[in-house]
Amino acid sequence: MPYNPEDLGEVEVALLGVLCAGLPPSRSAGDDTFRVDHVTAVVAGLHGAGRREVHLAADGVAVTPEFRRELRAAIEGLAARGILADQAAGMPAAAGGFAEGLQIDMVNPDEHPAVLDRYLAQLCMEQLFNVPAVYPYLMERYSSSGEVWRRLRAAGYGQ
């Protein structure tokens, strides 16, 4: 059954849109603000409440435990519908990104869920770009991703 963004929850739309943006692995980027959970939390906060910090912890980088649970549920729900393929966690967060007791296996920053329905993910990204509060942030992440990918390719990443 084909899905549309309207069939999805807010966190599901945010996650698919973020995954469609092509973020580099946060560990390779050396920057926790490239973590899928971080970017999805900011996008969901901007989309829902118009404020980026809604789902972020006090440090402004880590996500709240509540949002981590919502994100895990979104990943599991999308995987159950065949929209994503959940990938097993197992690698630590980027340097400076590990907090004692943090359940980093909830969303692995360097093993993003694989998008199986690219068309739906593209629709979700386009829907997010139409939100004035989200557009500048997501475009900045997209632009910064390009710079990181160029640097990583120049260093031999993926060869």
Q: How many domains does the chain have?
A: 1
131 vs 10: CA distance, rounded Å: 13
For residue 159, tell me if it sits in a domain.
no
CB neighbour class for 102 (10 Å; exposed up to 12, middle 13-18, buried from 19): middle
- Residue-range definition of the domain harbouring residue 75: 5-154
Q: For residue 39, give the amino acid letter.
A: V
Per-residue pLDDT of the chain (159 residues; tens, 9 = 90+): 689 999 999 999 999 999 998 888 787 788 889 889 999 999 999 998 999 999 999 999 999 999 999 999 999 999 999 999 876 554 443 333 444 444 443 445 555 788 999 999 999 999 999 999 999 999 999 888 888 888 878 888 767
Check: CB of residue 137 under 8 Å from CB of residue 45.
Answer: no
For residue 103, tell me if it sits in a domain.
yes
* Residue of 15, 54, 46 whose CA lies nearest to 131: 46
90 vs 97: CA distance, rounded Å: 15
Is the pTM higher than 0.85?
no
